[in-house]
Amino acid sequence: MKKILRPAWAEIDLDAIAYNTRNIKKLIGDKDLIAVVKANCYGHGVIDIIPTLLENGVSRFAVAMISEALEIRDNKITAPVMILGFTPLYLGEELINNNIEQTVYDLDYAKELSKIALTLNKKAKIHIAIDTGMGRIGFLPNEKSIDNITEICSLEGIEVIGIFTHFSTSDEKDKEYSHEQFTKMLSVMDTLKKRGIDIPLKHVANSGAIIDLPDTYLDAVRAGIILYGYYPSDEIDKNNLALKPALTLKATITNVKTLEKDMYVSYGRTFKTSNETIVATIPVGYADGYLRKLAENGKVIIKGEFAPIIGRICMDQFMIDVTNIPDVKIGDEVILLGEKNGLKYNADDMAKKLDTINYEVTCMLKSRLPRVYIKDTHIINVKNHI
């Protein structure tokens, strides 16, 4: 077993990933489950998590860019992988030769991709994106787009695998706009069907819709944040799906000292001791994605209690006040993000503090934090950044 190369790490509970995946699969029934594993599985570690996803009901994967898809292929994973974003045409051969499915939303792009495929005596596999109200990528739901999609489906070097759209507000309590988007998508599919085009894999439901909008499941759903144990917002009905957060950010104390009254802690002298204070140092900082803003009334869990962050967070270290926590010593374990014995300070809590979303919190944890993978309470792999 590899050693953890620093006294700070992100612990990934593969049993929690399995639990979440099984519960999602139970909810969607016989629909295909597409796991969104972009951004290194939202910071959790794609290559070590994919086997667990496959074992528990995932049949397809979605990523944001070709580099992420190639990482999957380079690790001998043969399950279907689609790219949700743009891939430059100069990488068309890599797409086709590695059996990667590309999102398409432009006729000229599709024509060029078809030409590349024909030179390889292969077909380029694609998913057609429809913009029903996100204002991002995708064909707009109008007659011109229908004509373009019809032409794309006739291209000799193209195999159309799927068609999809993306909800912008499915995680909000008010579902009216999501229903409007879905209605537009159904209209596009119906118009195509009248032209004799029935694309096999239709998928629109994201994490919010998986929980709250079962009528939108179609042939497949795309699960993202819920795979990793977090809800997309506080406005969805959490009773519909039980989840367990998979990631815990941990570190060990590297220094303990007693400071006298009226001494300063960290850069800028923003914290001054009002009494004799026991200060412990934690070897994590903003270079790890543990942002300076977290110092404002921030806290960690140590020995079953909360300890406040004091002073500014440095690039690689920060300090906590452990005056009221007995017998803190070098080597004691600290939870920076997670929960234990009823105490919780997880990605939801951190997101509220940073005025952002839990997605960003897990994604911002840098690769220089080792990932430690746990199954059945045992470490099964350590991924160091070297």
For the chain, the domains span 14-227, 247-345
Please give the structure tokens belonging to residue 256: 């303990």
Per-residue pLDDT at 140 exceeds 70 = yes
pLDDT at residue number 385: 85
**How does residue 169 score in pLDDT terms, banded at 50, 70 and 90?**
very high
Tell me the percentage of the chain whose pLDDT exceeds 70. Answer: 99
Taking the C-alpha atoms of residue 178 and residue 233, their distance in angstroms, rounded to an integer, is 15
Burial class (CB in 10 A: 0-12, 13-18, 19+), 13: buried
Taking the C-alpha atoms of residue 379 and residue 386, their distance in angstroms, rounded to an integer, is 19
pLDDT at residue number 290: 97
Q: E-strand spans in 217-298?
A: 220-223, 247-252, 255-259, 264-265, 271-272, 277-282
Where is average pLDDT lowest: 20-29, 61-70, 94-103, 376-385?
376-385
In sequence order, the 6+-apart residues with CB closer than 8 A to the CB of 81 are: 60, 61, 62, 63, 69, 72, 73, 99, 100, 101
Closest CA to 348 of 205, 243, 251: 243
Burial class (CB in 10 A: 0-12, 13-18, 19+), 87: buried
- What is the average pLDDT across 301-306? 97
pLDDT at residue number 339: 95
> What DSSP line would sit under 39-61, residue for residue?
HHHHHT-HHHHHHHHHHTT--EE
Closest CA to 236 of 212, 256, 255: 212
* Spacing of C-alpha 381 from chain mean position: 20
- Specify whether the CB–CB gap between 253 and 235 falls below 8 A: no
| pTM (2 d.p.) | 0.95
Name the CATH architecture for the domain at 247-345: Beta Barrel (2.40)
The domain covering 14-227 belongs, at the CATH homologous superfamily level, to Alanine racemase (3.20.20.10)
Q: Please check if 368 is assigned to a binding site.
A: no
pLDDT at residue number 185: 98
CB atoms within 10 A of CB 209: 25
DSSP 86: -
**How does residue 123 score in pLDDT terms, banded at 50, 70 and 90?**
very high
Per-residue pLDDT at 17 exceeds 80 = yes
pLDDT at residue number 2: 84
pLDDT at residue number 51: 98
CA triple 248-253-258, angle to 5 deg:
140
Phi, psi of 19 (to 5 degrees): -60, -50
For the chain, give the mean pLDDT. Answer: 97
Q: What is the dihedral of CA 71, 77, 80, 84, to 10 degrees?
A: -20
Active site residues: 38, 267
pLDDT digits (tens, 9 = 90+) for 141-158: 999 999 999 999 999 999
Q: Please check if 315 is assigned to a binding site.
A: yes
- Specify whether the CB–CB gap between 291 and 252 falls below 8 A: no
Per-residue pLDDT at 1 exceeds 70 = no
* Spacing of C-alpha 175 from chain mean position: 23
- What is the average pLDDT across 293-308? 95
In sequence order, the 6+-apart residues with CB closer than 8 A to the CB of 349 are: none
Taking the C-alpha atoms of residue 272 and residue 210, their distance in angstroms, rounded to an integer, is 49
Per-residue pLDDT at 78 exceeds 80 = yes
Q: State whether residue 147 is helix, strand or coil.
A: helix
